[in-house]
Amino acid sequence: MAKRGSPNINIVTTIKDLKGKVVLKITKNEYIVIKKDGSVISYNKHEYIQLVDGLAWSPDMLNHNPPVHIGVCEMCRNPGFSLFGPKTPTSGLVCMSRAKQCECGVLCCPQHRELCADKRWRCLKCAEKFKGLSLLNKLFLKKADE
């Protein structure tokens, strides 16, 4: 009969949001099993989570070349209120290569950002403000060459 010991490696990764609330706690375990004939087998147990942008991620991906870093979309974590009732919050975890940071400092997933006329990515709140200000500028200001 094979002898299975306690985990040789037991890694717990904890991700918290800006308020210190735990968003994700995920584990990685590695076991070594020694059979009666002396052969050694190594087992790895990894957990994955699906990010809001569709990517399946595990802490092991931080060791890739290049590493896959993740961030937390605050708008996913704290969704606003809609006409149809409160929206359900999600983990908000997003791959950093697909996330953009708004000028207000909020990290946005692809669902909660918008490319404005000045070719800058903004969160939905800042995009609405930008649209309103640009509309006011068009109504009340005219170009100097006219």
Domain map of the chain by residue range? 3-140
Predicted local confidence at residue 141, as pLDDT: 65
- Of 11, 13, 25, 27, which Cα lies nearest the Cα of 91? 25
Print pLDDT tens along the chain (146 aa). 455 555 577 888 888 887 888 888 888 888 888 888 888 888 888 888 999 999 999 888 888 889 999 999 988 888 777 777 777 888 889 999 999 999 998 899 999 999 988 899 999 899 989 888 777 776 666 665 55
Predicted local confidence at residue 109, as pLDDT: 92
Query: What's the CA gap between 1 and 93, in Å, rounded?
Result: 43
Predicted local confidence at residue 142, as pLDDT: 63
Predicted local confidence at residue 69, as pLDDT: 92
Quote the pTM value: 0.70
Predicted local confidence at residue 101, as pLDDT: 92
> CB of 7 within 8 A of CB of 31?
yes
Measured between alpha carbons, how far is residue 52 from residues 2, 47, 110, 121 in Å? 41, 17, 9, 18
Predicted local confidence at residue 21, as pLDDT: 86
